[in-house]
Amino acid sequence: MPRNHREYHYTDRIGWLRAAVLGANDGIVSTASLMIGVAAANTSHSNILVTGIAGLVAGAMSMAAGEYVSVHSQGDSEAADLAREREELKRAPAAENRELSAIYVARGLEPALATQVAGQLMAHDALGAHARDELGISEAFTARPVQAALASAASFSVGAALPLVVTVMISNANLIAWVAGTSLLFLALLGAISAHAGGAGIWLGAGRVTFWGALAMALTAGVGTLFGTVA
């Protein structure tokens, strides 16, 4: 007896992977940049730590709220489209059958075969067929606002904790160099891991997040130095 064949695809991970990577990246970049900017203004070590902790809490809550609202809005739009499609299937099933057949013809099927496929799929699950092939709504991409919010908040907190730990261990004299250097290393590792998990090239993934992280830290350090001198 042949064993059941189970295929694993990168798109299965897209819901949580996007939120987790975005949260961790923002946690590292925003917290490290914030503390570097404050350190560049010649602030005390304790004030830098308080700033970083406040940034972690505020950022995690902001990420969770923003992700929840965004993904929930997507879910509302999907629900509205499905409700409209359900009504159209009740009101004009023949027209919906022709619409689905036309989609399959556009994808390369012969018209007779497309009509047969559309009929069989609609007999099995009409709404599911139209949701998938007309609206582009599938299980892999279904909006999950609570999952996305929790993943974003947790990953942001983990990312933000990394430069905070470095700040606890390093004195003010070498703080900017250590926080910047270790944060860029963390970003490179995050980019490589997320790229590998998503099936992309690890060097490209590492390079792009490192570049934008370095730019954010450099700009924030410049602002901190400027306003610290003015003050």
pLDDT means per 10 residues in the chain (231 residues)? 49 56 85 90 88 92 87 78 81 83 85 84 79 70 73 89 90 85 89 72 80 88 75 50
Tell me whether residue 198 is exposed, middle or buried, using C-beta atoms within 10 angstroms of its C-beta: 0 to 12, 13 to 18, 19 or more: middle
The pLDDT value recorded for residue 1 is: 43
Cα gap 84→131, rounded to integer Å: 11
The Cα angle at residue 69 between residues 66 and 70, in degrees rounded to 5: 80
Cα 65 versus chain centre, distance: 14
Among 185, 179, 182, 158, CA closest to 224: 179
What pLDDT is recorded for position 54?
Answer: 93
231 is written with which tokens? 């003050």
- What is the pLDDT, as a whole number, of residue 125? 78
Distances (CA, A) of 159 to 30, 114, 225, 228: 9, 49, 25, 27
Per-residue tokens: 99:
């619409």
What pLDDT is attached to residue 31? 92
The single-letter DSSP state of residue 5 is P
Rounded-to-integer distance, Cα 99 and Cα 95, Å: 6
Domain extents in the chain: 21-230
Q: Which amino acid, one-letter code, is at 204?
A: L
